[in-house]
Amino acid sequence: MKKIAFIGAGSMAEAIISGIVKANIFNKENVIVTNKNNKERMERLEKKYQIQSIADKERVIEGTDIIILATKPYDLEAAVESIRPYIQPEQVIISVIAGISTDYISKLVGKNAPVIRAMPNTSASIGFSATAIAAGNHATESHVKEAEALFATIGTTAIVKEDEMHIVTGISGSGPAYIYFLVEAMEKAAVESGLDPSTAKALITQTVLGAGEMLKSSGESAEVLRKKITSPAGTTQAGIEALQRNDFQRAVMECVKSAHDRSIELGKSK
């Protein structure tokens, strides 16, 4: 059985750990997590998922097949420094850190270990991530397929060019937060109009799920689906017009562009 180690124990690491544990693709004792110095966080993940939390970086890396870099961008250098002496060329390094190029990671590692960049999202915890994957230095087609197989257990995957990862970060990486923000606003409007909060949440949640499934299974574009339920002078038309008056589409496009630009900034700082 292969062994996987997570360098970083934040929300993204936990989402992936949750997904792969549920998918049962690794023995739990072969899933290891470590971080800079938050022992309480490591112990919580160990207890919750029955995996291993190890502070000794040599023990973490020894015999590991896949190393997942899941730190904050500003912690990456120190994290790689702590494991670099123990990394072997045959170990696959997968980074899920926004904005950081595989070239930079290869430079930090200083060895010919294959580096792959991936951008999942936190829906990985329930097996519904949308993960983009890009090959970096020394990564062969076999390595990419291995990464693809890993992330396919926690959702869907797409192979992209590395320079496309910035826009991927802006849509699927950060995208769930935009949807949650929209739902927050819909729930507030419903409650202000007198609807019970739990009823509002249930109806809106199912509406989001249904719309997603329609996009996935109908074969029709979002524009076509929207127009099908927007009758002239009807209630949906009134709602759409309110969004248009408030420049909803432009706001969303600026939202995505801002995340895209921030991803580029993070990379330039390295």
pLDDT at 114 over 80: yes
What average pLDDT does the segment 140-161 reach? 94
- The number of angstroms, rounded, from the C-alpha of 29 to the middle of its chain's C-alpha atoms is 24
Which of 44-48, 55-59, 62-66, 265-269 has the least mean pLDDT?
265-269
Instruction: Give phi and psi for 68, each to the nearest 5.
Output: -100, 115
Tokens matching residue 214: 């329609």
pLDDT at 70 over 80: yes
pTM of the model: 0.89
Q: Strand pairing partners for 116?
A: 94, 135
Q: How far is residue 161's CA from residue 191's CA, in Å, rounded to a whole number?
A: 44
pLDDT at 67 over 70: yes
pLDDT for the residue 37: 83
What is the end-to-end Cα distance of the chain in Å, rounded? Answer: 35
Q: How far is residue 230's CA from residue 236's CA, in Å, rounded to a whole number?
A: 5
